[in-house]
Structure 1
Amino acid sequence: MPQKLDDAKATEKILLLYTQLLFSGKKYWLAELAKQFNCSKATMMRLMSTIEVSGVAEIETGIENGRRWYQLKNLPSRPHISLSQEEVEKLSLCRDLLGRLLPEGIEQVISSGIEKISGLMPHSSERASATVIRGANIVWGRIKYTETQQAYLELMLKAVSEHTIFEVAYKEEKHLFDRPNPMQYRFVPMRLTNENGSINIEGWRISDDVIPKKKYAITLALHRIITCKSTTEKFLKCPDLPEHKGAFGLVGFRPFEARVRFSEVYSSYISDRVWSEDQKIIELDGGEIELQFKASSHIGLVNWVLGFGAGAELLEPAYLREQILEEVEEMYGFYAPEED
């Protein structure tokens, strides 16, 4: 969603509002538009009236569940637009780098869409070169999504703007929760995230009350959803999810301070990347470094540190050092030579 327009003049807001309505074709709630354009609902209603009185377009409006909405009526013909070769090339690059992370069917839809929009380029001679594959995303341990999981994803994507409540059966990962039966969630999907090649759906867990209530934010991995059923219920007073605070981990968990020492072997790898927005990197003797940052997943931090072997030492929090020690002692049993 575009940023708030704090200082825009009325004419600028009208132009931006009309452009948004024209090119999206979507239905917008009055309260959301007022928040986006940083004005009152009354001011937004006047802006809508100004657009309609000008004669450039007809605006539909109505009320659903006590909330007013606006939408531009379909025009007899779409505005004439064209895309440059650079714009299509950048879209193609996004396809090449991100497509393999998505279910195969969605990847094909993206490729088909790019081929179609290349027809909007003014020079036909540039179309073929603009859609040439220029990148690749190398993913070890790529998830192979089923057609059913792709259908679940598309179903939830369509329902995000409507805040539809879903009934989801979910299989937790055993290293996190050793539960014999799938978890049952009433869930409102809000947005998608990608973590290490896994598509995650973030949203609110909803209560079973007659009048549904928000319980807490949860993150569901698409490949671990067993069944997903859309209900006829909608959670209309659904608040936005908490913003990602730039902490190492997933949304919905309280961030905590962490310190990790890395050997010289991994110092460049760690220093070249952002692990949390407020991280600090301290240079130590012998080329070693200390990373100070915020994390929000205990098991995620432990597994991450263990992945560096003897090249990393978790300094804080202390209680996770004990957990790592237990893991290392158990691993030692796998490799220790047998006694005669």
Structure 2
Amino acid sequence: MPKNPKQKPAVAFDTRPRLERIIQIHEAIQSGKRPNCPALQEILLGISRWTVLRDIEFMRDRLCLPIECEKGKLGGYFYSHEVTTLPLIQISEGELVALCVARQALESYRGTSFEPLLRAAFEKLSAGLGQTVEFNFAELSSVISFRAAGFSPIADLETFDKVSRAAIRQEEIELEYHKPNSDEPVKLRILRPHHLTSVGGAWYTFATAPERNTIRTYAIGRMRKVNLTGRKFERLEGFDPATYLANSFGIFGGEAPEKIRLRFTKTAATWIEERLWHASQKLTRKKSGELDVEFHVCIAPDLERWILGWGSEVEVLGPAKLRRKIAETGEKVSRING
């Protein structure tokens, strides 16, 4: 087969993507019928002989497929050994490592109903890389690992599937929602899911209700007996999840932001500087070694818990109401553990 033909007959250009042609050529060879060049031209609806030869060369040299040709002028093409997948995914070494790290990060879903789906997805991706790339995912755990503190796995994949389908199809759902620390009787309610998000290892949906056309946040893990109703709804015009959470330190969004001013001790300062806690953060090191931190976020339980988690290593400089709230909670903690 000529690799660099000097002359090519005048033919109409084939406007279809090469990927589409390669898939058709692969299927023809995979069938075992050993198609020759004229047969492939017919399958590909009359493209030039030179286009077929270039595609065959690409499949053999770039995709490393074991394509052989029978002897003779009209010899057909065949695979010299079994080809189970068509290696269409081409990635760099760095991208491969990133893929491996991502897979390792998903180990936090081990033991949940997500595990078999995620494992199957990565096996398909690995197969798509072809036989030229070999990487043992199991070996990665010896050098890279992840630990998710406070991770909240979704025990009921069916619930997650129904909520996500409802958001995609813009379909109302009927469910029971179990509020934490509530004495109210559990009752059926109707929700209109607009968006699903994972924050801090737990899944939530932003939704409206027929009687209240404002966005509220619901934890999917607190939902029970979820059913699709078949009733369509219109998404709230102008709702954007990124904008909704822009002023949130965690999952509690939608409120007006305030200037949060904190001062961390020299001991804690380095720990704070090492991470991006919020897009609005401003850090200022003082000569004493202390660190002043400023956020523009709404005051909410997740922010308060984060501050309290630093104990005596942090002082709230403002606003005054947040300082009082942290002080009151600190006194309660002291009484309980005193």
Shared fold (TM-score, shorter chain, > 0.5): yes
Residues 1:312 and 2:314 aligned together: yes
Measured in 1, the distance between the counterparts of 2:296 and 2:175 equals: 31
Measured in 1, the distance between the counterparts of 2:303 and 2:103 equals: 31
Measured in 1, the distance between the counterparts of 2:292 and 2:135 equals: 49
Closer, same or farther: CA 293–221 of 1 in aligned 2, 3 Å: same
State the secondary structure of the residue aligned to 2:304.
Answer: helix
State the secondary structure of the residue aligned to 1:104.
Answer: coil
Aligned partner of 1:236 in structure 2 is 234
Residues 1:108 and 2:112 aligned together: no
Closer, same or farther: CA 335–204 of 1 in aligned 2, 3 Å: closer
State the secondary structure of the residue aligned to 2:288.
Answer: helix
Q: How far did residue 138 of structure 1 move?
A: 0.5
Q: How far did residue 277 of structure 1 move?
A: 1.8
1:39-73 alpha-carbon deviations (Å, 9 max, x no partner): xxxxxxxxxxxxxxxxxxxxxxxxxxxxxxxxxxx
Letter in 2 for 1:169: E
Q: TM-score under structure 1 normalisation?
A: 0.64
Please list, as runs of the form range in 1=range in 2, the aligned pairs for 1:1-340 lying within 5 A after superposition: 81-84=88-91, 86=93, 87-101=95-109, 104-122=112-130, 124=131, 126-129=133-136, 133-134=140-141, 135-146=144-155, 149-174=156-181, 178-182=182-186, 185-201=189-205, 203-208=206-211, 215-239=213-237, 240-243=239-242, 244-245=245-246, 247-250=248-251, 251-336=253-338
Q: TM-score under structure 2 normalisation?
A: 0.65
State the secondary structure of the residue aligned to 2:216.
Answer: strand
State the secondary structure of the residue aligned to 1:232.
Answer: strand
Measured in 2, the distance between the counterparts of 1:301 and 1:241 equals: 22
Letter in 2 for 1:222: I
Q: How far did residue 129 of structure 1 move?
A: 3.2
Q: How far did residue 304 of structure 1 move?
A: 1.2
Contact 1:85–1:121 (8 Å) recurs in 2? no
Contact 1:282–1:289 (8 Å) recurs in 2? yes
Letter in 2 for 1:193: T
Letter in 2 for 1:266: A
Q: How far did residue 255 of structure 1 move?
A: 2.2
Contact 2:109–2:153 (8 Å) recurs in 1? no
Letter in 2 for 1:215: N
Unpaired segments of 5 or more residues in structure 1? Answer: 1-14, 23-77, 209-213
Contact 1:164–1:231 (8 Å) recurs in 2? yes
Equivalent residue pairs, number = 251
Measured in 2, the distance between the counterparts of 1:259 and 1:282 equals: 11
State the secondary structure of the residue aligned to 1:141.
Answer: coil
Identity of aligned residues (%): 21
Measured in 2, the distance between the counterparts of 1:245 and 1:280 equals: 16
Aligned partner of 1:57 in structure 2 is none
Contact 2:260–2:296 (8 Å) recurs in 1? yes
Letter in 1 for 2:146: N
Letter in 2 for 1:205: T
Measured in 2, the distance between the counterparts of 1:236 and 1:228 equals: 20
Closer, same or farther: CA 102–277 of 1 in aligned 2, 3 Å: farther
Contact 2:247–2:256 (8 Å) recurs in 1? no
Q: How far did residue 259 of structure 1 move?
A: 0.9
Q: How far did residue 144 of structure 1 move?
A: 4.3
State the secondary structure of the residue aligned to 1:100.
Answer: helix
Unpaired segments of 5 or more residues in structure 2? Answer: 1-14, 21-84
Measured in 2, the distance between the counterparts of 1:335 and 1:132 equals: 45
Contact 2:247–2:254 (8 Å) recurs in 1? no
1:195-231 alpha-carbon deviations (Å, 9 max, x no partner): 2222222x221224xxxxx622222222222332211
Root-mean-square deviation (CA, aligned residues, Å) is 3.0
In our comparison, the structure showing a higher alpha carbon Rg is 2
Closer, same or farther: CA 319–241 of 1 in aligned 2, 3 Å: same
Contact 2:174–2:226 (8 Å) recurs in 1? yes
Closer, same or farther: CA 191–242 of 1 in aligned 2, 3 Å: closer
Letter in 2 for 1:142: F
Closer, same or farther: CA 144–114 of 1 in aligned 2, 3 Å: closer
Contact 1:92–1:131 (8 Å) recurs in 2? no
Contact 1:246–1:276 (8 Å) recurs in 2? no
